[in-house]
Amino acid sequence: MKRQHFLKSLGGLSILTLIPQSAFAKIPTKFTGDLKSKIIRNNEGIVLNVIGDIQTHKLMGSETNNQIVEWVDDVEPGVGIPPHVHTKEDEIFRVIKGQIEIMIDGKITVLEAGDTAYAPKNIPHSWKVVGTEKAKMITSAFPAGIELMFKELADLPAGPPDFKKVSEICGRHGITFTK
């Protein structure tokens, strides 16, 4: 079918047939920046132990023009993150295995494999692995930058965390803990 006939068949869009095709030539058809595509296998990534939250970082901000960072949480039952607020980034949580009890803006629910939750910045949220099996969750944050905080937290000495030091590191990255 010729372009003109196709556009006419769309009815109300027939006005587009009057616009020369060359007028659309300046619309870019692909991103022309210096970002590179990337395939990350299941067993690949940068592994960080962030106070018991074993994170495998798959995409870093440096690879996405600081648009997004994504990691896989591989966490034992009982491990979680207490209520906190981000001032810089939104987060998306996708459960792959196990059960995650998540609180967003005071509402608590249990996410199971296949479930997704969205926590916008400036909204209190927390999560914890419930049940008896280890949980796996893909977490995305945008814009990127939070991975720098995770690196600092992973560099803390082993053993029970110094909550004052953890709060100080998180605070420098725009994250505060709530009650």
Largest CA distance in the chain: 71
Task: State residue 1's pLDDT score.
Answer: 57
pTM of the model as a whole: 0.80
The pLDDT assigned to 24 comes to 46
Comparing C-alpha atoms, which of 104, 118, 121, 120 is closest to residue 173?
121
Mean pLDDT, the chain, whole residue set: 87
- For residues 85 and 18, which has the higher predicted lDDT (pLDDT)? 85
Residue 50 has pLDDT above 60, yes or no: yes
Q: What is the pLDDT of residue 148?
A: 96
Sequence ranges of the domains in the chain: 1-27, 46-177
How does residue 16 score in pLDDT terms, banded at 50, 70 and 90? very low
Q: Are 21 and 2 in contact (CB under 8 A)?
A: no
In tens, the pLDDT along 104-141 reads 999 999 999 999 999 999 999 999 999 999 999 999 99
46-177: CATH superfamily: Jelly Rolls (2.60.120.10)
**Which positions ≥6 away from 45 have C-beta within 8 Å?**
56, 57, 58, 71, 72
